[in-house]
């Protein structure tokens, strides 16, 4: 596995990371603990050094799983986690990035992750009730105390990124980006390049759609949040099938899979982009990591760019969209 550096932060990680959320929440029932441990440790064995979690995944269960899985190799890996949500009675209950709460979350996360430092700490969602300067200042204090190594933001807009970065350097922004969601290209990516901030795309496979394994007839588990996503309505899946068809044709030419081509397209955008595909299956992990060896020509990239210039359906429900600050 090749390595990449997230912007000018000096934080070097594997070119592909592992998004761990789906092992504990989001796409149906959590996996069996022993299986979750196997998936994470298999990623380590295959050269992955970048693992993404958050207190709200579960809640709490995902950090515990990641902490146990990575404890034997802690000094060889980079762990990213997040604060920013209020959790009540085991459920997400709004936003909370008050400085005192950030500190509470960090102390609890350190224990669950079985570590003495968090390599990359993201604000999970921008909290309009707390000035971003206060958030950045608090994380800066935690960096000076040695409990955090790098500061990140998730789903933040350009103005927030600039304001935060002026107080404490932002190492990375995590937001959705894929052939199925191109919005970051307009303002986010140029800003990150200017400021020397790395980019970590989540849902780089369009929440599974770009793998070619989902079509308009696919049904999801009752606990799968894709049931609430407009983009996953049957009519929108049918309308967006053209992108998958092109991925499939390109994959055949490259002796690859559609998922590998979708990830290779992201890797071809900028050298400081590090996607974090998630999976619960060992064979899909193997497939995803194989994307690092898929070489796309400039012509391949242009053809994919053109085909994916417009997608149908919103990426979030109205309630979830209200949590996204652009």
Q: According to the model, what pLDDT value does residue 325 have?
A: 56
pLDDT of residue 292: 97
225 catalytically annotated:
no
pLDDT band at 244 (very low <50, low <70, confident <90, very high): very high
pLDDT tens-digit profile of 75-89?
999 999 999 999 999
Nearest in space to 219 (alpha carbons), one of 211, 227, 231:
227
H helices of 157-196, in order, are 158-167, 188-195
Q: Tell how far CA 210 is from the center of its chain.
A: 16
CA dist., res. 11 & res. 120, Å (int): 9
Residue 119 CA to residue 138 CA, distance in Å, equals: 16
Pick 210 or 242 by higher pLDDT.
Answer: 210
Read off the pLDDT of residues 290-312 as tens digits, 9 standing for 90 and up. Answer: 999 999 999 999 999 988 777 88
Is residue 171 within a helix (H) or strand (E), and if so which, with residue range? strand 170-176
> Which residue(s) pair with 72 in the sheet?
none
Per-residue pLDDT tens digits for 86-142:
999 999 999 999 999 999 999 999 999 999 999 999 999 999 999 999 999 999 999
Convert the pLDDT of each residue in 176-208 to its tens digit.
999 999 999 999 999 999 999 999 999 999 999
220 SS3 class: coil
Q: Nearest Cα to 197, choosing from 27, 10, 28, 55?
A: 10
> One of 27, 57, 122, 177 is an active-site residue; which one?
57
Delineate the domains of the chain, giving CATH numbers in brackets: 3-321 (3.20.20.100)
- The pLDDT, as a whole number, for residue 275 is 98
The two tokens of residue 155 are: 């789903």
């Amino acid at each position: 596995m090749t390595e990449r550096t997230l912007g000018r932060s000096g934080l070097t990680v594997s070119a592909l990371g592992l998004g761990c959320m789906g092992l504990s929440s989001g796409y149906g029932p959590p996996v069996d603990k022993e299986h979750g441990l196997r998936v994470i440790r298999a990623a380590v064995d295959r050269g992955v050094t970048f693992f993404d979690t958050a207190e709200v995944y579960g809640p709490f269960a995902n950090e515990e799983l990641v902490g146990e899985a990575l404890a034997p190799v802690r000094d060889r890996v980079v762990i990213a986690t997040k604060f920013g949500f209020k959790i009540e009675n085991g459920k997400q209950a709004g936003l909370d990035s008050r400085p005192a709460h950030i500190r509470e979350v960090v102390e609890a996360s350190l224990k669950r992750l079985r570590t003495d430092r968090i390599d990359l700490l993201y604000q999970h969602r921008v909290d309009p009730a707390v000035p971003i300067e206060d958030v950045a200042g608090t994380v800066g204090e935690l960096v000076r105390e040695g409990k955090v190594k790098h500061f990140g933001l998730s789903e933040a807009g350009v103005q927030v990124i600039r304001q935060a970065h002026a107080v404490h350097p932002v190492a990375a922004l995590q937001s959705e980006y894929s052939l199925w969601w191109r919005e970051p290209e307009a303002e986010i990516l140029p800003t990150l390049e200017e400021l020397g901030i790395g980019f970590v795309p989540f849902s780089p496979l369009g929440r599974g759609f770009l793998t070619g394994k989902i079509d308009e007839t696919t049904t999801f588990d009752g606990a799968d949040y894709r049931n609430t996503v407009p983009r996953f309505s049957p009519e929108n899946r049918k309308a967006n099938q053209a992108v998958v068809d092109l991925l499939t044709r390109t994959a055949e030419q490259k002796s690859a899979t559609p998922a590998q081509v979708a990830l290779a397209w992201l890797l071809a955008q900028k050298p400081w982009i590090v996607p974090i595909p998630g999976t619960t299956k060992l064979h899909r992990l193997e497939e995803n990591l194989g994307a690092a060896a898929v070489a796309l020509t400039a012509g391949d990239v242009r053809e994919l760019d053109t085909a994916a210039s417009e997608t149908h359906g919103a990426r979030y429900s109205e309630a979830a969209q209200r949590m996204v600050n652009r």
